[in-house]
Amino acid sequence: MISLFRKWPLGTVSLLSSSLLILLIGSTPSQCQSSEATSPKASNGTPFPWNEMRLPEHIIPVHYDLMIHANLTTLTFEGTTAIDITAIQPTTAIILHSNRLQISKATLRKGAGARPSEEPLRVLEHLPHEQVALLAPEPLVAGLPYTVVVDYAGNLSESFHGFYKSTYRTKEGEMRVLASTQFEPTAARMAFPCFDEPAFKASFSIKIRREPRHLAISNMPLVKSVTVAEGLIEDHFDVTVKMSTYLVAFIISDFKSVSKMTKSGVKVSVYAVPDKINQADYALDAAVTLLEFYEDYFSIPYPLPKQDLAAVPDFQSGAMENWGLTTYRESALLFDAEKSSASSKLGITMTVSHELAHQWFGNLVTMEWWNDLWLNEGFAKFMEFVSVRVTHPELRVEDYFFGKCFDAMEVDALNSSHPVSTPVENPAQIREMFDEVSYEKGACILNMLRDYLGADTFKSGIVHYLQKYSYKNTKNEDLWNSMANICPSDTQRMDGFCSRGQHPSSSSHWKQEGLDVKAMMNTWTLQQGFPLITVTVRGRNVHMKQERYLKGHATAPESGYLWHVPLTFVTSKSDSAQRFLLKTKTDVLILPEEVEWIKFNVGMNGYYIVHYEDDGWDSLTGLLKGTHTAISSNDRASLINNAFQLVSIGKLPIEKAFDLTLYLKHETEIMPVFQGLNELIPMYKLMEKRDMNEVETQFKAFLIRLLRDLIDKQTWTDEGSVSERMLRSQLLLLACVRKYQPCVQKAEGYFRQWKESDGNLRLPNDVTLAVFAVGAQTTEGWDFLYNKYQSSLSSTEKEQIEFALCVSQDKEKLQWLLNHSFQGDVIKTQEFPGILRAIGRNPVGYPLAWQFLRENWNKLVQKFELGSASIAYMVMGTTNQFSTRARLEEVKGFFSSLKENGSQLRCVQQTIETIEENIRWMDKNFDKIRMWLQKEKLELL
């Protein structure tokens, strides 16, 4: 699954602009959890024979025969599930999952052949664990084949998970209904009774009953269609490979499709609502190219005959990797050649590559339990960059990768973070795992390992892992053991380690003592947080020290944490990366000669930050001011990030960090500029929520002065590479929202022309966001934009308009947006989390957003689920830029009052920690900022 909120390297249009314009201090928040007391009583009061959250292991499902009949008029469905099972030991109780299903009958068939005997099973429900017990009159015999048959019915879900209802309007305004599924992590049990844990892999034969006007699709191709009654057709789909329940999928709709074949004969199709099928071509071509890439890279053929990609009109996350039928939010799949933005093209490519990577990592080889979710998600996130770099080199995705690591560090620097691999039990805790630590940190540590081992060795290791564990389940250590069995080409295997021969190659990554991948990677997956490396240069000696980086602590409390850190560095005398594995708390390396400067973490390939003691920072600031291109743009961006991270823990004065950013006057590359904005914008966002107008105004003026030359250079066109276009879009938006007059006047002119043409004038896509944001500042402009929103078929255009509507300074308009996007009548409810957060970042809107969250908490949890990324995103988005003690108490008071309905959420701990950090930060730095701005302004005069 890909969470919408971490979908793209720089977010969707609305999220990218949120990240820069209405930027958060903590990036995509991790999820939330709740705990509940268990009670082994069934719903009818009789004892329930099982009292654990996890299912017993003495019954194993082998195959499911599933028949589903949905009625899209009454919004109900009925089904029959026949599960072939084997008992490992004698038992009378078959425990499986079921949630919100009414079971009418359950029977047990014994034996195979022509005359299997049937006997009824008694059904007990245990609602707190979403389990049912089917009780047999006598114990099942170990090793014999049995089939459990369950008849049941349910309502189509009104949320975004389980078997749920989705709707769309045709161009003519007619409302159409469809039904689609989203089962990961624990919602297959809302569509059919099943053993709903990833390790209970089985094959599935699916039959769907539908009206003739509809079309049904599922994981496998259609084998035949049978008319079972007048106006009722039953579609039979081919039997699946062995897989986990959360990957089952089916959709009943009137979608249209376009198809192509891959070189190896896999049929790839994109499905969408009829009015938007003309936007499917880009994703179809990308999917074919990416599927061919993965078959080649993994040396394992894609095992199914087809791969469908379906754009579902209502979708909570970004996309989902159901085997053979991946599903997407429309904005993550459909590309309108006329109106879609450069960031949209990048995002669609990355999302498709993520879900297709899952067909191997996750689907073919699956984590044994959700505590190792990162084996699915970290890998898929990492493979996005590996694949797209090869298949779409013009997108330059490698430039954006390290931004993911900064996002993860934002959360991982807090006490409330968690190790990559961490125990979870209940569904809310499981949902909570879908966060930056599983995705982004997982990807960053894999990238660090690949950089350390070398690309070929790393690839051999993962291919070995996939081949060895195909159709099975794995734990953390299985991956490291697979890696440890591979040695680089110039090493031999000895005692389970790789060791070098007599001729160490110049790119040697290893010390002679060999390399223990498992010991090294356990330091990154089993303990939370990341190291701060402090570097002190004394002549030719470079002294290094590692400690945990923790927000709010100048020196981290002695945690005993130690990492195996694969350090890389360049110096003024050598621009090829040198390597050093730091396994102890302190160490010293000796350079061949003295240097003027040294820069660690080359290209930001390592998941750590660096502090340069003595005059280390001064020499790097001097380097940036003199010839900033002496180091790569990623290295420049990482210096900006690290400097401000060090300000937070009191290791670097804020004045020095500001002095370093002054070089941005001469910067032209996207990532250092974006990183500068990512550090500076949150500072004035904090001020906007307090009475600090004078300094806030000076600070905003400083930011525009800093980037004015680059802003003035931007053409109002769609020319250039993807990164140049995304940079243009953001800079013009920033300039217009900060009321830089040359920008505002030009945008007003464009908006006037666009409005006079009734929205038919084609604006350059890269300037549309800025034009709409300026246009939305008048009542008439806002109303016109909203009007266009309703009829637009372009996801990019809708997101751009949505964003512009949210930057209005009219409180009534903002309140109206909150109400209507939550109701979902004119603006879909799937858009609500983004709208709430955008308004939470708006200087006049933030009190409304915070109020709305509190007043509608129970409804929000019903719709988006406790523990989901959406809930976390809303919690952080409405609160984590507060920086006063009064607001802190308000936040603490509200969440503690929720008890088990939210007080334990990890995102609540995170936002409280973040607010406390904001208070400390402002107390310490506000006066220094004021003084520095006055001094900087005088120097410019």
**Residues catalogued as catalytic:** 355
Token code pair at residue 350: 């990355």
Separation of CA 89 from chain center: 41
Token code pair at residue 485: 């069995």
Instruction: From 369, 853, 405, 919, select the one nearest 690 (Cα to Cα).
Output: 919
Q: How far apart are CA 452 and CA 445, in angstroms?
A: 10
Neighbour tally for 780: CB within 10 Å: 9
Strand spans (E) along 422-549: 472-474, 491-494, 497-500, 531-538, 541-548
Instruction: From 523, 240, 246, 549, select the one nearest 377 (Cα to Cα).
Output: 246
Do residues 861 and 854 lie in contact, with contact meaning Cβ atoms separated by under 8 Å? no
Main-chain dihedrals φ then ψ at residue 21, nearest 5 degrees: -80, -45
What is the β-pairing status of strands 267-272 and 541-548? unpaired
Neighbour tally for 934: CB within 10 Å: 12
Angle (nearest 5°) at CA 540 between 539 and 542: 95
Q: Which residue has the tokens 């009722």?
A: 232
Q: How far apart are CA 467 and CA 483, in angstroms?
A: 13
Do residues 480 and 412 lie in contact, with contact meaning Cβ atoms separated by under 8 Å? no
Q: Cis omega before residue 185 (within 30°)? A: yes
Neighbour tally for 613: CB within 10 Å: 13
The sign one gets for the Cα dihedral 418, 423, 427, 433 is positive
**Which amino acid is residue 45, in one-letter code?**
G
Token code pair at residue 553: 């602590």
Do residues 795 and 330 lie in contact, with contact meaning Cβ atoms separated by under 8 Å? yes
Q: The sheet that has 76-87: what strands, in order across it?
A: 117-120, 102-110, 145-155, 76-87, 59-71, 203-210, 232-237, 222-229
Q: How far apart are CA 778 and CA 784, in angstroms?
A: 10
Q: How far apart are CA 471 and CA 363, in angstroms?
A: 8
Q: How far apart are CA 424 and CA 331, in angstroms?
A: 32
**Which amino acid is residue 213, in one-letter code?**
R
Helices (H) and strands (E) in the chain, counts: 27, 31
DSSP reduced 3-state for 346: helix
One-character DSSP codes across 690-705: TT-HHHHHHHHHHHHH
Q: How far apart are CA 84 and CA 86, in angstroms?
A: 7
Residues 6+ apart with CB under 8 A from 390: 293
Do residues 660 and 938 lie in contact, with contact meaning Cβ atoms separated by under 8 Å? no
Q: How far apart are CA 763 and CA 778, in angstroms?
A: 19
